[in-house]
Amino acid sequence: MTDPPDIPEDVDAQAIAWVIRVGDPDFDEWKAFEAWLAESPAHATAYHAVATGEAEMVEALAADAPRPSVAPVPRPAWRRASWAGGALAASLVLMIGVASWQSSPESRVFETGPGRHSAIALADGSRITLNGNTRLTMRGDDERAIQLDRGEALFSVHHDAARPFSVTVAGATITDVGTIFNVVRETRATRVSVAEGAVIWNPTSEAVHVGPGQYLRAQDGSATLELARVEIGGVGGWTRGRLSYDGAPLETVAADVSRALGVAVTVAPGAARRPVRGVLRLDGGADSVVPRLGTLLGVRVKHEGGAWRLSPPP
Amino acid sequence: MGASGLEAVFLANRDALLRFLRAHGAGDAAEDLLNELWLRLREAPPGPVAKPLAYLYRAANNLMLDRYRSESRAAARERHWAEATGATHPGQSDAPSGEREIIARQQLAQTQAALAALGLRVERVFWRHRIDGVPQRQLAEEFGVSLSTIESDLRKAVGVLIEVRKKLD
């Protein structure tokens, strides 16, 4: 079916080569594998040792990756430039952009106020839902090139390989591969979570594949990206009045709650990194949601001057 | 193909599967192992299977790996037992779990560093294949390289894991 593998001479190296080939879900050359095993008992022994040893190491690697950060992906140095640099680059893009946008008068800006949702139906059947306090810009000549200026949006994209759908956010580009995905721009980080299909994060540089049930978090200036698991049913849960978390820091949750409900929610430094697990229902308004968050997490909740503040328990 | 279809393929290829188990070093136990495979299939029939014979070979392969795993675990237990009772390394088998955890963490850190040293693509290809379960052909498309490059990347990664593991033993 395929070319015969180049088999190295050393038995361990041969065993490694077979572990790789047999380990592929598509592998279907059992006769050739059997012939190699039958050549010498040392072959079977080496194969068993390598296959089980490798599986154990992979198990340990997978189990170690702390949730929610399953796989740190190193980033090329130029991507690590601090956000100050990024902002400069963005403003350059904007200056160039202004000229071309002027020649394209239909360039549209969509904006929602705090606590308001809005949906955009595109001509190709794709749909974008905007969370509160969100702004996105659509170039008049291309509905499939969206810029998320701030906030959060859920994209249900009609896939077209000839015309990829892309979202740019804080200098990064996300391209769809047939998809429902959610993008959030936080104060100093971008999060992308995928419910269906997949997206490619920065296809021309980092090219990280984010598949269903995964989320990627890019902290500005960080040397690595975080890839984590996310409950598929929870992606874009804010559109159905619920937010679900599997270890996200409290500051992220506070930002999500403020965006969804249109109230200021701040977190004391001592509680900002507390991991949150569970589902938070958004019904009943801020007056009941924020205190519920306090009970759920065992943090102190204070309401003063129209803003909510979460702090560590006394 | 449903479970009964799979059983038919099993029966038609009984001798071939037996040969495969023997090539794996099953020896006299080959018949028993084949029966075990048969029972596993009957007790937990898989859903529809696209390539029934390949499925049976994989199941047989997994069975042999499980057997090897339990045999080497039993051997390790015996060795530890002998060491503990022989008092050549007193206390080794019941080191405080906190300490063992620290050692395990150091070993993991070594493994991660060794993988990272192979370069970004190798590490990512390995991760996508072994953790996400993406087939090699699809990875070749995803990374825009040939299938043999993917295979060679994976060989490097597995080679490093096995090397680190040998050093740890």
3-state DSSP assignment of residue A6: coil
What is the predicted pLDDT for the residue at A73? 59
**Which residues are CB-neighbours of A96 under 8 A, at least 6 positions away?**
none
Query: What is chain B's mean pLDDT, rounded?
Result: 81
How many whole angstroms from its chain centre is CA A53? Answer: 31
- Chains A–B, number of C-beta pairs less than 8 Å apart: 106
Contact A30 B147 (CB under 8 A): no
Among the ranges given (A70-74, A172-176, B158-162), the one the predictor scored with the smallest mean pLDDT: A70-74
Question: Is pLDDT at B133 greater than 60 in this prediction?
Answer: yes
What is the predicted pLDDT for the residue at B143? 79
**Which residues are CB-neighbours of B133 under 8 A, at least 6 positions away?**
A25
Contact A50 B57 (CB under 8 A): no
**Interior/surface letters A275-297, b for 16+ CB within 10 angstroms, e for the rest:** bbeeebebeeebeebbeebbeeb
Give the start-to-end residue ranges of the domains of chain A: 1-66, 95-234
**Which range among A54-58, A161-165, A203-207, B76-80 has the greatest average pLDDT?**
A54-58
Among A residues 119-158, those touching chain B with beta carbons less than 8 Å apart: none
Cα–Cα distance for residue pair A133/A11, rounded to 1 Å: 62
pLDDT digits (tens, 9 = 90+) for A268-290: 888 877 877 777 777 777 788 88
Average pLDDT over residues A57-74: 59
Higher pLDDT, A187 or A138: A138
Among the ranges given (A57-71, A149-163, B17-31), the one the predictor scored with the smallest mean pLDDT: A57-71
Cα–Cα distance for residue pair A261/A288, rounded to 1 Å: 11
3-state DSSP assignment of residue A194: strand
What is the predicted pLDDT for the residue at B98? 57
ipTM of this complex prediction, to 2 decimal places? 0.87
Q: pLDDT band at residue A257, thresholds of 50, 70 and 90?
A: confident
Higher pLDDT, A65 or A302: A302
pTM for this predicted structure: 0.49
What is the predicted pLDDT for the residue at A3? 46
Higher pLDDT, B41 or A94: B41
As a CATH number, domain A95-234 is: 2.60.120.1440
Among the ranges given (A174-178, A251-255, B1-5, B34-38), the one the predictor scored with the smallest mean pLDDT: B1-5
What is the predicted pLDDT for the residue at B33? 94
What is the predicted pLDDT for the residue at A251? 83
Contact B68 A211 (CB under 8 A): no
pLDDT digits (tens, 9 = 90+) for B47-63: 777 788 998 999 999 99
Contact B72 A52 (CB under 8 A): yes
Q: What is the β-pairing status of strands A145-156 and A166-169?
A: parallel
pLDDT digits (tens, 9 = 90+) for A288-304: 888 887 777 778 888 88
Percent of chain A topping pLDDT 70: 82
Question: Is pLDDT at A76 greater than 70 in this prediction?
Answer: no
CB atoms near residue B5 (< 10 Å):
12
- Asked if the C-beta of B111 comes within 8 angstroms of chain A's C-beta atoms, the answer is yes
Percent of chain B topping pLDDT 70: 80
HEC string for A61-116 = HHHHCCCCCCEEEECCHHHHCCHHHHHHHHHHHHHHHHHHHHCCCCCEEEECCCCC
Average pLDDT over residues A121-129: 85
